[in-house]
């Protein structure tokens, strides 16, 4: 008889928790939700966050505030969100910088990409492009490689994120090139200096560079993904024209502080995935060279774990100095 009573009690508790979780998800949110972006306004990650926020707001019935916290290739923003209340009102737009290469780039991070966050929703995949100052006397990727070999150390690249740095160093090491790194806090100011001719070249997301490419202020030389871009279809891939096997893209996704209730995570995941399925959102993403990448929390968690290992390995293989 005692066992039957105990089972009834356990069943009642489980039912109560399930109902409580459902009620929590239905009540959330009751005030604005902030998405913290680790890079500057105008960057690809910032643009993606604002597109998602625009369409997510009416679904949640609350304003979505996008806040840019720049510094240490995303570590400043990630550290802040990791310490925020786990209530679903402060989210991080994480990337393969915050949850990938930073693990190997810094001797000590003030956050743990795995333990301090709950993966909420995968949002997009970003193709990158190698651009050069328009006045640099190169027309093709082959011209750039030849110039770098003729004058070791004469060319420089702008590093506006750990992604751009890893791509540049991987490219240079594969071809035996000596190209000087010029670090920046984010991609927009780095891009400004490439346009002005203060730096020779840069690996940057297509969304940040496309207007300058079309306007003639930058010369696009190649894309970093193994498949050609639909935005700049005439550009060769680095894989096919210089470094076989070169296939690097970046990604973004939403993360919540560890301890955020599962009901809230599931609600956010469902709403973000619904947003990514909207034709208008797909079109806006496609226009800036971003591919939507919806996934459930468990699938996104597995993806992030794999990416963390991959980008940390790329940092080590490229021989990038740990800070």
* Domain-embedded: residue 13: no
The number of domains in the chain is 2
End-of-domain residue from the set 241, 265, 296: 241
- The model's pTM: 0.84
Q: Strand (E) positions, 230-315?
A: 249-257, 290-292
Residue 188 neighbours by CB under 8 Å, 6+ apart: 40, 41, 42, 43, 160, 208
End-of-domain residue from the set 210, 241, 272: 241
Task: Check: CB of residue 72 under 8 Å from CB of residue 216.
Answer: no
Same domain, 188 and 255: no
* Domain-embedded: residue 10: no
CA atoms of 275 and 277, how far apart (whole Å): 5
* Domain-embedded: residue 17: no
Same domain, 133 and 224: yes
CA atoms of 310 and 302, how far apart (whole Å): 13
Burial class (CB within 10 angstroms; exposed 0-12, middle 13-18, buried 19+) of 196: exposed
pLDDT in tens, the chain (323 residues): 454 544 454 444 444 444 444 555 568 999 999 999 999 998 889 999 999 999 999 999 999 999 999 988 899 999 999 999 999 999 999 999 999 999 898 989 999 999 999 999 999 999 899 999 999 999 999 999 999 999 999 999 999 888 999 999 999 999 999 999 999 988 889 999 999 999 999 999 998 899 999 999 999 999 999 988 888 899 999 999 999 999 999 999 999 999 999 999 999 999 999 999 999 999 999 988 899 999 999 999 999 999 999 999 999 988 888 87
CATH number at residue 55: 3.40.190.150
End-of-domain residue from the set 241, 260, 284: 241
Q: Which domain holds residue 219?
A: 127-241
């Amino acid at each position: 008889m005692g066992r039957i009573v105990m089972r009834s009690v356990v069943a009642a508790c489980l039912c109560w928790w399930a109902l409580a979780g459902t009620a929590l998800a239905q009540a959330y949110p009751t005030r604005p939700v902030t998405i913290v972006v680790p890079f500057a306004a105008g960057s690809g990650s910032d643009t993606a966050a604002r597109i998602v926020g625009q369409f997510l707001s009416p679904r949640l019935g609350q304003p979505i505030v996008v806040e840019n916290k720049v510094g240490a290739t995303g570590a400043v923003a990630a550290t802040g969100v990791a310490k925020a209340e786990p209530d679903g009102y402060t989210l991080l737009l994480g990337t393969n910088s915050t949850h990938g290469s930073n693990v190997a780039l810094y001797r000590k991070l003030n956050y743990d990409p795995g333990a301090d966050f709950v993966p909420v929703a995968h949002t997009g995949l970003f193709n990158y492009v190698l651009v050069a100052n328009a006045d640099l006397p190169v027309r093709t990727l082959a011209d750039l490689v030849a110039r770098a070999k003729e004058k070791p150390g004469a060319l420089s690249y702008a590093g506006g994120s750990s992604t751009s740095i890893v791509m540049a160093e991987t490219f240079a090491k594969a071809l035996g090139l000596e190209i000087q790194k010029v670090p920046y806090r984010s991609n927009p100011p780095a891009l400004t200096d490439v346009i002005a001719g203060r730096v020779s070249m840069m690996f940057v997301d297509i969304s940040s560079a496309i207007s300058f490419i079309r306007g003639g202020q930058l010369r696009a030389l190649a894309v970093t993904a193994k498949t050609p871009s639909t935005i700049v279809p005439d550009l060769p891939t680095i894989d096919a024209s210089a470094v076989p096997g070169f296939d690097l893209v970046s990604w973004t996704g939403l993360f919540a502080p560890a301890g955020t209730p599962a009901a809230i995570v599931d609600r956010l995941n469902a709403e973000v995935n619904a947003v990514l399925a909207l034709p208008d959102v797909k079109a806006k993403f496609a226009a800036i060279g971003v591919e939507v990448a919806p996934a459930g929390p468990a699938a996104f968690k597995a993806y992030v774990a794999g990416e963390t290992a991959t980008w940390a390995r790329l940092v080590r293989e490229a021989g990038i100095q740990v800070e």
